[in-house]
Amino acid sequence: MLWRPDYSAHVLHTVVAAKRPEIWRLVLGISVMVTCYILMALFYQQAISELTRYQPEFLDELIAGSTPLAMYTLLLSFGLISVAVFIGVRLVHKRDPLSVFGPMMLAVPQFARVLGILVILSAALMILPPYGFGGELVLNLAPGLWAVLLPLSLLAVFVQISAEEIFFRGYLQQQLAARFRSPLVWMVLPSAVFAFGHYQPEEAGGNAMLIVVWAGLFGILMADLTARAGSIGPAIAVHFVNNVTALVIVALPDSLGGLALWHTPFGMADEAQLRAWMPVDFAMMIVSWLAARLALRR
């Protein structure tokens, strides 16, 4: 049945972690990753500062993600997380860094299969009514410029979302599942950390906890897909389509909207309007998860 949690394939994802599943090794691995990330991030920030020292306005653009260059700078910085995870996996767990994806012979075709069905689903939802977000969309980038930037924009988003999946559904889920059998540990714990990483009370105001709940549920659903598939390929596909839609196609005007073709008629500061559209986001998340599960059954 579609609704039953068949996690028999999860062992394919976790078997590589079972050789060294000790909790002290997990703690050491995270410590190494955090240290490596901080050092690389300091170098990255210094390099950006040197390159833009004659453009003081770039700092404001970077904080808001209001221009294509600022968005590329932000999104590509997530690649440092992936590099830090790869270093920690190699040094502490003595295994192939790419093993965090699960078996690549599963991850790649599963990613392609889920991506294909989600692209079709997203296109259908854009064509079918209702249209808009309670008002007319505001053109952000000229269509020609947006199209020229699109390949790099897709790459930047892929770097960002793959880093999150590599750490949360890859490394953390693998190591915890190798040590604990209960999904309450390997599914909920990484999802809780992922959720509170999205806690932004200054930007989201009264919607901050609602966004945390959204991110927590998203994390649990991605953990479920990973356990069903035996790799993080499907989770990467869902996360990729979600973020491309929210960052590259239609974005909020006051929060990471620099790469979007259109902006919504309301922003992050418009708490009531944003809250009214959150149920749509929740519904789309569930639909995408179900579509991914159907794609895995083929």
- Print burial letters for 208-221: b (CB count within 10 Å at least 16), e (below 16): eebbbebbbbbbbb
Decide: 69 and 154 in contact? Cβ < 8 Å.
Answer: no
Q: What is the pLDDT of residue 119?
A: 94
Locus of tokens 């999946």: 165
The pTM for the full model equals 0.93
Locus of tokens 């294509």: 68
The encoded tokens of residue 266 equal: 């309301």
The C-alpha atoms of residue 177 and residue 270 are separated, in whole angstroms, by 40
The C-alpha atoms of residue 107 and residue 82 are separated, in whole angstroms, by 17
CA 279 → CA 20, 89, 131, 211, 273, distances in Å?
Answer: 42, 38, 16, 11, 11
Q: What is the pLDDT of residue 1?
A: 42
Domain limits of the chain?
10-297
Q: How many CB atoms lie within 10 A of CB 120?
A: 11
**How many angstroms from the chain centroid is the CA of residue 51?**
28
Q: What pLDDT tens digit does each residue of the chain (298 aa) get?
A: 445 578 999 999 999 999 999 999 999 999 999 999 999 999 999 999 888 877 878 888 888 888 999 999 999 999 999 999 999 999 999 999 999 999 999 999 999 999 999 999 988 887 766 555 666 889 999 999 999 999 999 999 999 999 999 999 999 999 999 999 899 999 999 999 999 988 888 777 788 899 999 999 999 999 999 999 999 999 999 999 999 999 999 999 888 999 999 999 888 888 888 888 888 889 999 999 999 999 998 6
Q: How many CB atoms lie within 10 A of CB 145?
A: 12
Q: What is the pLDDT of residue 273?
A: 83
Furthest-apart CA atoms within the chain: distance in Å: 60
The C-alpha atoms of residue 169 and residue 232 are separated, in whole angstroms, by 7
Q: What is the pLDDT of residue 130?
A: 58
Q: Look at the alpha carbons of 104, 105, 107, 113 in this order and tell me if their dihedral is positive or negative.
A: positive
